[in-house]
Amino acid sequence: MIDTPASPAPQPVYGAVTNNAFFIVATLRDDVQCLAQVRAWCADVAGLARAVGKRIPTGHLSCVVGFGATAWDRLFGLPRPAGLHPFREFGSGTRQAIATPGDLLIHIRAERTDLCFELATQLLGRLEGAIDVVDEVQGFRQFDHRSMVGFVDGTENPEGDEAVRFTVIGDEDPDYTGGSYVLVQKYLHDMKGWNALPVETQERIIGRTKLSDIELDDDTKPSWAHNALTVLEDDDGNEIKILRDNMPFGRPGHGEFGTYFIGYARSPAPIEQMLENMFVGVPPGNYDRLLDFSQAVTGSLFFIPSLPLLDTLSEQVPDTLQDTNTPVPAADTLSGTPGSGTLNIGSLKGAPRHE
């Protein structure tokens, strides 16, 4: 058993919505000293965030750090959290939720870009030589929380106590109470193709009105609408939610327009079911038509330790370090076959309202 408080404080996974965010994904280098450097860094994260944040208290600076499955094994030698496994791929061809390398996630939020930049600089400076950054995205809040495709994003996010209930692990995994899971994907959009569509067609694809952000009624909304396929209910008809903190990003001069999807939950199963519904379809073939204009180019899953556990992970040295040249098999963590529809998540029902 891991020695953590009975109700450990979570990292700020359900922190305030801000105008800026940095998303940094890195891989670990294959060296014992590098792994020790990353472990020691765990004890510094919270203090660095506080120090930078105090410079501008109204900036609402926060930071969340997570670890991928193989990184967890190599760094800490502790049993994996119950839901931590390599990213599961769904779909095929050009419509595929792909898995890409990711051992470490740093998600920084703030009202100001300079706060995000300063904290990222401090955090990465202490990891110099131990990691390789494989993806770095600077997101921004667009108008009234609009996504890159022009619709309000995160309308159905849980708030308050509900946000805690849906994002923070409880007694279902006692060693990791106060933790969370987060799944990230970077999507690139065909904005020329999207903007050529009539607004009414865009609304049917999203499942909401564009200007007023009102959900279309069931008689109007297609079964392949984005929000039809991402609504989940349990066996009792209660909606199962995740917390999204998506942000637009892009480089207009390079024709790059994207959305960084980031979803927090107390289990990865609901997010994975949503992805299967989107990329495979309900039933198969009835996929999310937004994917005709959006391509996922990255995909990683991470575990977010509670704040006390993050601090003590610096002391969790494996008894026997793994051979860093031998990858940890993904198969031993999978309860189903990627993309097969067999997620073994029991009570989840995919988009039952609109079938």
Concatenated DSSP letters of 178-245? T-EEEEEEEEEE-HHHHHTS-HHHHHHHHTB-TTT-PBPPTTTS-TTSHHHHT-EE-TTSPEE--EE-
Cα–Cα distance list, 148 to 11, 93, 94, 294, 296 (Å): 28, 24, 20, 11, 14
Tokens of 214: 């009102």
Tokens of 323: 């051979």
Contact 123, 43 (CB under 8 A): no
Strands of 29-78, DSSP E: 62-67
Measured distance CA(355)–CA(345) in Å, rounded: 20
Q: Which of 135, 153, 245, 288 is catalytic?
A: 153
Q: Exposed e or buried b for every residue in 228-247, given b needs 16+ CB within 10 A?
A: bbbbbbeeeeeebbbbbbbb
Tokens of 204: 């049917």
Q: Is 235 a catalytic residue?
A: no
Which residues does 292 contact at the CB level (< 8 Å), separation at least 6?
193
Which one, of 244, 238, 266, 264, lies nearest residue 348 by Cα? 238
Which one, of 296, 278, 295, lies nearest residue 287 by Cα? 278
Rg from Cα positions in the chain: 20
Measured distance CA(294)–CA(243) in Å, rounded: 21
Measured distance CA(43)–CA(50) in Å, rounded: 13
Which one, of 170, 189, 188, 190, lies nearest residue 180 by Cα? 170
Measured distance CA(176)–CA(305) in Å, rounded: 7
User: Active-site residues: which are they?
Assistant: 153
